[in-house]
Amino acid sequence: MARLFGATGDGIARLEESGGAWTVEQSLTGTGAQCVAVDPHDPDTVYAGLREGGVRRTRDAGRSWVDCALPEPGVFSLAVSPADGAVYAGTEPSRVFRSDDGGESWRALDALLDLPSRPTWSFPPRPWTSHVRWIAPSPHDAELILVGIELGGLMRSGDGGASWQDHRPGAQPDVHSLAWHPLVDGRAYEAAGGGAAFSTDAGETWQPADDGRDHHYTWSVAVDPDDPDCWYVSASTGPFAAHGGGDPQARIYRRRDDEPWRPLTGGLPEPLPSMPYALLAADGRIFAGLADGQLWETRDRGDRWTALRLEGDTLGRLVALAPA
């Protein structure tokens, strides 16, 4: 039986697969949950990042939650390292915190704030600030971390956050999501406001990957766990279409073996009714969570998609997904 956790922008949803349907059970309703991360070593331990309430943790798969007392309230990104279990939280204003005891205590990785580019960091809707949109600890090296600032750049640390390299050559600066390949050391992927990029040298340098795709405002990224040359992005024509609540002008694309991007349409509604905010590779499938709460899956690398039947609590929105 598969299980996913989703952030809805309001709370956290636990989705359990059983008998051809998925049962939705909501918790933390009304907290403004923006992001979610599951401990890869304990699927019942889940962290929720709240827009104004810091980090909450559950050790019983969402039945009860505790406040982890993060020093900053505005959390936009979370990650649990597959390599050593460290928990990372990214906030607005842009800061990164690390916990080595499951969220009981935190230390700020504030060397990030010493980067020369910091004065230029600015999120266009709130230009006086910026935030850490994504944190990607390497599954192969516990000391290696990628961080995306919206809008500011893609930063890299090779020493667990004690020091940082500024925006990496070839990467897009308006970072929305990042991924590592789980098996192939050194392969990393980016979806950003100006397009997509990938790295073959553990995030030191990046190469653009935009050929064949006419929508360049990319949002979510996922990679086939068995094939580092097969990856996916969701994309729109721009931020107003993607987030404006009208026609998202959105597509899901696949890239394989250095071929141009291909839009995936088999089984998906055309046009898509809302932005695919969350792409996730898990359990031999690719899941797509939409801004209106729809959840789709493909079992054949995107050639054919199926809408999942959701039961239980109403799922009105999905902004992030995590596997359990």
Instruction: With a cut of 80, say whether residue 1 has pLDDT above it.
Output: no
Averaged confidence pLDDT in the chain: 97
Instruction: With a cut of 90, say whether residue 19 has pLDDT above it.
Output: no
Three-state secondary structure call for residue 242: helix
Three-state secondary structure call for residue 113: helix
208: confidence class by pLDDT, cuts 50, 70, 90: very high
C-alpha closest to that of 222 among 206, 210, 235, 211: 235
* Strand 33-38 relative to strand 46-50, pairing: antiparallel
Question: Do 268 and 308 touch, CB atoms closer than 8 A?
Answer: no
Amino acid type, 300: D
**What DSSP state is assigned to residue 100?**
S
Per the omega criterion (within 30 degrees of 0), is the bond before 151 cis?
yes
Domain locations in the chain as residue ranges: 3-323
pTM above 0.75, yes or no: yes
**What DSSP state is assigned to residue 114?**
G
Q: What is the pLDDT of residues 292-307, one digit of tens each?
A: 999 999 999 999 999 9
C-alpha closest to that of 212 among 196, 199, 228, 200: 196
Q: Could you give the CA distance from residue 254 to residue 18 in angstroms, rounded to a whole number?
A: 29
C-alpha closest to that of 56 among 86, 47, 64, 98: 47
In this structure, the number of other CB atoms found within 10 A of the CB of residue 116 comes to 8
Region 158-175: mean pLDDT is 97
Share of the chain above pLDDT 90, in %: 97
Three-state secondary structure call for residue 241: helix
Domain 3-323 has CATH 2.130.10.10: yes
Count the residues in the chain: 324
Three-state secondary structure call for residue 32: coil
The first and second tokens of residue 133, run together, are 């949109």
pLDDT at 258: 82
Q: What is the pLDDT of residues 93-151, one digit of tens each?
A: 999 999 999 999 999 999 999 999 999 999 999 999 999 999 999 999 999 999 999 99
324: confidence class by pLDDT, cuts 50, 70, 90: very high
Region 148-159: mean pLDDT is 97
